[in-house]
């Protein structure tokens, strides 16, 4: 059990720092992952960026994901081929929706990181951070999008995830750092005493403080 995101961030950051990732770059999933990503970036003296993911819903069934689009230097689109085959649809049928989602992602990045291009991850250790994993769908597609940017390695760091997600995450990432693998698992928020929503203004503040080049190492990390 974590008291709040600050508590989880401190514990997670120490666990990641102990593994000494070479040339790290921290990528947070907004909004809940940003407070943890900010602490980790400071601990490692690494730059902080976001990974923005939008689900591509099925026509008339928006909650059923046909795929997802992930931002980056070049947005990456993933589709669930089984769902497409079962529905008789093709990727081309979603062209208009994808264009709309790209616009939404661009608007969100402009809100959070005005004037800042996505980090160049080539040759770096890309560390994806969130405040927890539930189904794993968003984290998995984000990891695949990061992999497409040619980093030296892709890590994922989260405070808590269901035990049955362990082999799934280990299959997607080069290294998985998770502080707790509960079974049964009910929801991410059930493992925090305080799990308030993170407002956009807080995300903007944390990213502004981090700046485009990172936040610099915390005391004792240099």
Q: Which residues pair with 67 in a beta bridge?
A: 56, 79
206 domain residue, yes or no: yes
Give the per-residue pLDDT at 222. 35
Residue 220: is its pLDDT beyond 60?
A: no
Confidence of residue 185 (pLDDT cuts 50, 70, 90): very high
221 domain residue, yes or no: no
Average confidence score pLDDT of the chain: 92
Structural domain of residue 175, as residue ranges?
5-52+122-210
Any residues with CB less than 8 A from the CB of 111 and at least 6 apart, and which? 200, 204
Which domain-ending residue is among 63, 81, 112? 112
Kindly state the tokens that stand for 20.
């000494």
Confidence of residue 215 (pLDDT cuts 50, 70, 90): very low
Confidence of residue 213 (pLDDT cuts 50, 70, 90): low
**43 with 64, same domain?**
no
3-state secondary structure labels for all residues of 27-96: EECCCCCHHHHHHHHHHHCCCEEECCEEEEEECCEEEEEEEEEECCCCCEEEECHHHHHHHCCCHHHHHH
Give the per-residue pLDDT at 165. 94
**174 with 79, same domain?**
no
Angstrom distance (rounded) from CA 130 to CA 160:
9
202 domain residue, yes or no: yes
Helix or strand (DSSP H, E) at 116: none
89 domain residue, yes or no: yes
- Contact between 146 and 128 under an 8 Å Cβ cutoff? The reply is yes
Tens of pLDDT, residue by residue over 23-46, are 999 999 999 999 999 999 999 999
Tens of pLDDT, residue by residue over 55-68, are 899 998 887 889 99
pTM: 0.89
117 domain residue, yes or no: no
**77 with 175, same domain?**
no
The CATH number that applies at residue 198 is: 3.40.50.2020
215 domain residue, yes or no: no
Query: Total structural domains in the chain?
Result: 2
171 domain residue, yes or no: yes
**126 with 205, same domain?**
yes
Residue 193: is its pLDDT beyond 60?
A: yes
Tens of pLDDT, residue by residue over 94-111, are 999 999 999 999 999 999
Tens of pLDDT, residue by residue over 142-167, are 999 999 999 999 999 999 999 999 99
**38 with 57, same domain?**
no
**48 with 71, same domain?**
no
Q: What is the mean pLDDT of residues 2-6?
A: 97
**97 with 9, same domain?**
no
Confidence of residue 219 (pLDDT cuts 50, 70, 90): very low
Which domain-ending residue is among 112, 140, 158? 112
Which domain-ending residue is among 89, 112, 135? 112
**44 with 58, same domain?**
no
**62 with 44, same domain?**
no
**169 with 156, same domain?**
yes
222 domain residue, yes or no: no
Tens of pLDDT, residue by residue over 68-79, are 999 887 788 889
**74 with 27, same domain?**
no
**130 with 205, same domain?**
yes
Tens of pLDDT, residue by residue over 198-210, are 999 999 999 999 8
Residue 211: is its pLDDT beyond 80?
A: no
């Amino acid at each position: 059990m974590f008291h709040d995101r600050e508590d989880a961030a401190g514990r997670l950051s120490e666990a990641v720092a102990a593994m000494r990732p070479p040339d790290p770059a921290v990528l947070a999933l907004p909004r809940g992952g940003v407070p943890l990503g900010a602490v980790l970036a400071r601990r490692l003296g690494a730059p902080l960026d976001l990974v923005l993911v939008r689900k591509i819903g099925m026509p008339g069934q928006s909650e059923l994901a046909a795929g997802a689009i992930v931002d980056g230097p070049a947005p990456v689109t993933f589709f669930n081929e089984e769902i497409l085959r079962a529905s008789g649809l093709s990727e081309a049928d979603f062209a208009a929706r994808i264009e709309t989602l790209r616009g939404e992602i661009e608007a969100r990045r402009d809100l959070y990181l005005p004037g800042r291009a996505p980090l160049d991850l080539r040759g770096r250790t890309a560390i994806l951070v969130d405040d927890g994993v539930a189904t794993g769908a968003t984290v998995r597609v984000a990891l695949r999008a990061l992999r497409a940017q040619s980093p030296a390695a892709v890590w994922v760091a989260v405070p808590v995830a269901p035990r049955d997600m362990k082999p799934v995450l280990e299959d997607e990432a080069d290294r998985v750092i998770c502080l707790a693998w509960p079974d049964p698992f009910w929801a991410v928020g059930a493992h925090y005493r305080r799990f308030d929503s993170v407002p956009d203004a807080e995300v903007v503040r944390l990213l502004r403080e981090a700046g485009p080049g990172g936040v610099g190492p915390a005391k004792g990390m240099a």
